Amino acid sequence: MTTALNAAEADRVLKSAHRAMWALGDYAAIASEVIPHLGADLAEACGVRRGMRVLDVAAGPGNAAIPAALTGASVVASDLTPELLEAGRREAARRGADLEWRQADAEALPFADGEFDVVMSCLGVMFAPHHQASAGELIRVCRPGGTNGLGVPAADHTAAELTFLTGISQGRPGFPAPRARGLG
């Protein structure tokens, strides 16, 4: 039991450090200057449209959530860091986007199984420390037959070039039949 408590405490400290680190920088400026169209491109690649229920995991300042909301979809932007969510709220207000902002850990999402039509993450989820846990959560909260989409660096490209992986979730781990598209 002591080992489990030590691991849980170490994970709590790790998440606290992550939250603090992400609160230090101006990631909204980085997103708008370095990857200005990536969020909108991801929302488009995922087929986001009016009437869909969409979750952006590790949304940061909302570079994918805001364009998704502008389509008329019902969007929830979730992130571990409240300061990033606040920056997103300001940008959403500036752009006239209506969406929900929720503080949430990508590895333990506070949403029901199959709650969303589209679950996406534009870079953010790749920084979660436990990739298997966060991948499982992305699949869990996506409805069967829904879409999971990730904007992540491609292994065979520079960090500035990104690959979209989108696929249909059929209630099993992984991203079946992914479509990849390089950017950059």
The CATH class of the 2-182 domain is alpha beta
Q: Say how far apart CA 58 and CA 180 lie, in whole Å.
A: 21
Nearest of 183, 122, 118, 130 to residue 157 by alpha carbon: 183
Read off the pTM.
0.77
Q: Which residues of the chain have pLDDT under 50?
A: 158-184
pLDDT at 175: 37
Q: For residue range 112-160, list pLDDT tens digits in order.
A: 999 999 999 988 888 788 888 898 999 999 999 999 998 876 555 544 4
**Residue 27 pLDDT:** 67
Angstrom distances, CA of residue 181 to CA of 84, 109, 154:
27, 27, 10
The counts of H helices and E strands in the chain are 6, 7
Q: List the chain domain ranges.
A: 2-182
Q: How far apart are CA 123 and CA 84, in angstroms?
A: 14
Six-digit token string for 141: 């909260």
